[in-house]
Chain A
């Protein structure tokens, strides 16, 4: 696999009055060119922080250490000015509440023009391409002259997708874009995303979600995060067939499916809660909820390379 995105030992903390919240605490991984990497985990695990840090470090997010490389070039995420070269052109994002992110007082055409001008281009030069893509997502040309409030939720979602991918970024970060949607709209949005990818409008997708079943549908690899740490990364098929990390295992077995009824087979949840990230516990952060815990778990577990593209962070496999 040709490595296109490489993240080394990334640490992003949130600065608060009471100290640093260790949201992303030493995460390293690689993405191949044209890969869809699914990033899964419960809320608060750091997946959103990780994704957002790759494009915009907004205070109180603070860069602590780590390096990021995209297509061989270092990405200076700590320097907001230098990042302008990358933002929107090579790395783009569909933020979590994208539909609400459209400025209600601007017509969509003006919005796009402003955005493009910020990045050294303008609406006129892209008009043909924009119209082509609007057609692809079944949006009429007239939306360009409308205000966001005139569009339905689904239309806004499609609009945001067109805007975010206009400059054919190498990396697209999709932050929980389907979480608030019902199943049929969810499927439509995902299909659209994959269509964009197959046409080369985006190369790699960093797909953040808490819903593993969605990842099964579109991701080639899955990265599981827990309490700021990477606990497992493997190809989708491998991870779902035989998850290695106890958290992944419990997460997958707690997924309700059609065909499972309470009366016939009771699903098991994961008792307890994630640890506080202000002062996380020593050693493995999952130890308090892990059924396989033993004394070694009080020490920080190593990141074990099971195979070329499979890593687990657990003493079971050391």
Chain B
């Protein structure tokens, strides 16, 4: 359904725009219908950039993104609007996602004006209330209110409800859990999982592996703009192959096992070899050495791929 082909995004930074920052480096993966794919990475991994490129808020420097076979970069105004009818996003900060000056109802009003001008007011109102209930919100409690009068969880759910009212087929969920409280997180997560059952595809962007494991079918592990490992979620978590994935799994704080604290702090090679073709993870990798140039993509098992030169060592 959604296919990323060799997508790259390069930013020009520095005083005179001299330096280049490769935020996303030759990323390819796909999301099928009715599938939840987790895009896991630290800050700076490029995961948000990928989300924004899928939503066409940013244009890729090279590569293409195909939706149902069509290149979204080529869309003209009408096709773009059509695209937004089927693809929507929910962002990280619920409070920032609303214009503080207007009531929250406005997000639904705009959706109707722009996408469904032929639908009658009453029918629209009914649709809204139905979807609000389906996300666990009481219409009387949330409609007619200003954003600052509602909680983060309610605001996030409103945004999800908006996507449902528009009957989208694909949702980009960018770190939507991180600003919610522990008690609300689970509810929103469960909601997303339920939506998948009704045919919605979701790109779940997060840095928290446990959340990814909980709801996704496939996982993509991103580091500094490049894919390190991807495939079926369970396979990746049960037998992680890439050193980055392994170190991530080790770092997750658990409540049944304590970390083995190392007394030497912050390990890692201080200087990374300045060769553009070196594996990006080299300077933090416990297995890496000079031979890690342009690591190949290896199929470790069915539905499980790793980009590493040291598999099997």
What residues make up the interface of A, taking CB atoms closer than 8 Å to B? Answer: 42-43, 136-138, 153-154, 158, 180, 182-188, 191-192, 194-195, 198, 210-214, 216-217, 240, 250-252, 254-262, 266-271, 273
Q: How many residues of B contact A (CB 8 A)?
A: 43
**With known contacts A210-B181, A213-B254, A185–B42 Cβ distance under 8 A:** yes
Q: Report whether B190 and A42 are in contact in the complex, using a CB–CB cutoff of 8 Å.
A: no
Select which of A180, A191, A210, A240 is within 8 A of B255 by beta carbon. Answer: A240
Q: Report whether A213 and B43 are in contact in the complex, using a CB–CB cutoff of 8 Å.
A: no
Q: Mark B211-233, 1 if CB is under 8 A from A, else 0.
A: 10111000000000000000000
Chain A binder among B20-28, B59-67, B243-251: B243-251
Q: Interface centre among B234, B259, B262, B266, by most A CB within 10 Å? A: B266
Q: Report whether B251 and A187 are in contact in the complex, using a CB–CB cutoff of 8 Å.
A: yes
Q: Mark B175-191, 1 if CB is under 8 A from A, else 0.
A: 00000011111110110
Q: Mark B189-217, 1 if CB is under 8 A from A, else 0.
A: 11001000000000000011111011100
What residues make up the interface of B, taking CB atoms closer than 8 Å to A? Answer: 41-43, 151, 153, 181-187, 189-190, 193, 207-211, 213-215, 234, 237, 247-256, 258-259, 261-263, 265-266, 270
Chain A nearest CB, measured from B242 CB (Å): 13
Q: Report whether B213 and A216 are in contact in the complex, using a CB–CB cutoff of 8 Å.
A: no
Select which of B151, B193, B211, B265 is within 8 A of A137 by beta carbon. Answer: B265
**With known contacts A42-B183, A258-B249, A138–B209 Cβ distance under 8 A:** no
Chain A nearest CB, measured from B277 CB (Å): 23
Select which of A186, A214, A261 is within 8 A of B214 by beta carbon. Answer: A261
CA distance A262 to B36 in the complex (A): 12
12 CB-based A-B contacts, threshold 8 Å: A42-B181, A138-B270, A182-B42, A183-B248, A183-B251, A191-B265, A192-B265, A211-B253, A216-B253, A216-B255, A258-B249, A269-B187
The interface residues of chain B lying within 8 Å CB-to-CB of A271 are 187
Q: Report whether B214 and A262 are in contact in the complex, using a CB–CB cutoff of 8 Å.
A: yes
CA distance A110 to B118 in the complex (A): 65
Q: Report whether B187 and A273 are in contact in the complex, using a CB–CB cutoff of 8 Å.
A: no
Q: Report whether A183 and B252 are in contact in the complex, using a CB–CB cutoff of 8 Å.
A: yes
CA distance A191 to B260 in the complex (A): 10
**With known contacts A183-B248, A257-B210, A268-B186, A43–B181 Cβ distance under 8 A:** yes
Select which of A158, A188, A258 is within 8 A of B210 by beta carbon. Answer: A258
